Amino acid sequence: MDKILLQQLQFYGFHGLLPEENKLGQRFQVDATLYLDLSKPGNSDDMNDSIHYGQAYEYIREIVEGEAKQLIESVAENIAEKLLTSFDILEACNIKLIKPDPPIPGQYHSVAVEIYREKVK
């Protein structure tokens, strides 16, 4: 399956269980893999046959920087749902939502959730 990759998108949001996370906010990173047939836009060279990366970015930004959620699982689910319902040619997507600086003790690089969703046919 062909794919469009949007990698290491950086945002600032207010998601988390702790009151400090909702008040102070923190950094979030998103990797989105969009699955679709790219043969038509590859042959037509017409943006109308593909997915506009900028629009996909804006949908993701609006969700991550928007209404605070307790769980990053919910944020990832909202992103997948928005993308799948907004782009007719999108068949499936993989969303990885990374929290680089969660307020938990210990040594780690980051915490993340990753989901794969397909369009209901």
Of 84, 96, 82, 81, the C-alpha closest to 28 is: 96
Quick: pLDDT tens for 44-83: 999 999 999 999 999 999 999 999 999 999 999 999 999 9
Name the catalytic one among 3, 40, 96, 99. 99
Q: What is the pLDDT of residue 121?
A: 76
Determine the Cα–Cα distance for residues 117 and 68; give it in Å rounded to an integer.
Answer: 22
Sequence-ordered strand ranges (E) for 36-121 = 92-99, 111-118
Please list the residues that pair with 81 across neighbouring strands: none
Say whether 119 is catalytic: no
Q: What is the pLDDT of residue 120?
A: 85
Quick: pLDDT tens for 18-41: 989 999 999 999 999 999 999 999
User: DSSP string spanning 25-37?
Assistant: -EEEEEEEEEE--
Domain 3-118 fold: GTP Cyclohydrolase I, domain 2 (3.30.1130)
Starting at the edge strand found earlier in the chain, the sheet holding 111-118 runs 3-13, 26-35, 92-99, 111-118
Quick: pLDDT tens for 102-114: 888 888 899 999 9
CB 56 within 8 A of CB 87: yes
* CB-based burial label for 20 (10 Å; 0-12, 13-18, 19+): exposed
- Look up the pTM and report it: 0.95
